[in-house]
Amino acid sequence: RKLFHFLRAIGEASQDPTIDIELAPRTALDSRPLDGDEVDECRWASRSDFTSWRYPAVWALAEAGATMTELPHVLVSHVDLDKRVVLLKGSPRTVQRVVPLTDWGAAQLERLLGTAWFAPGVPIVYGGEGATGRRSTMAGTVRRIYSQAGLDRETDVTTESVRAWLGRAMRDQGEPIERVALRLGMRSVDRTFLLVGEDWQSQEA
């Protein structure tokens, strides 16, 4: 499936014989973490066929751990490219925090902010009104990136899967769940376990 998706993307194939094959979800989770290869595919997808600079900027902030609610509130002044960090203001479900950008994400924001004029108080990825509209616009952008990356038929891939990837990567590097929760702004350790695909009830006291 990935082979034919790539061939279509570069114009070497016009059909996909796998398109009608329904695959079972990879996990029993409602939302699973992306793996490293899928994140790389989404990075490529965010810059491939889209003419808008907003797609790689949205993905860069999502990789840093921003929720769909937090994304439209990130202002130019919230990004420190020298330190490669971004301020996320929090939401009803997350707390305010300063988090590092990935190397790829920092490069996308540096390319954007270094070539276009933005006032410090301007939102980086959205300038509209209305909380519901802002959130749905960001979710739609991430879903379009998933579609371009060939992940739109993965039923356990959601807009939370990129944040879950970040948390899962931290856990795989041996970080305690409390530090993962702080990085993601989570108000509950139990919810953090669920986000990264762990059974909190099986954890040792």
Each residue's pLDDT, cut to its tens digit, for the chain (205 residues) gives 666 666 666 666 656 665 555 555 556 668 899 999 999 999 999 998 666 788 999 999 999 999 999 999 999 999 999 999 999 999 999 999 999 999 999 999 999 888 767 888 889 987 666 666 677 889 999 999 998 888 888 889 999 999 999 999 999 999 999 999 999 999 999 999 999 998 766 555 4
Exposed / middle / buried, residue 66 (Cβ in 10 Å: 0-12, 13-18, 19+)? buried
- Rounded to whole angstroms, the Cα distance separating 46 from 152 reads 14
| pLDDT at residue 16 in the model | 61
Contact 75, 88 (CB under 8 A): no
Contact 183, 166 (CB under 8 A): yes
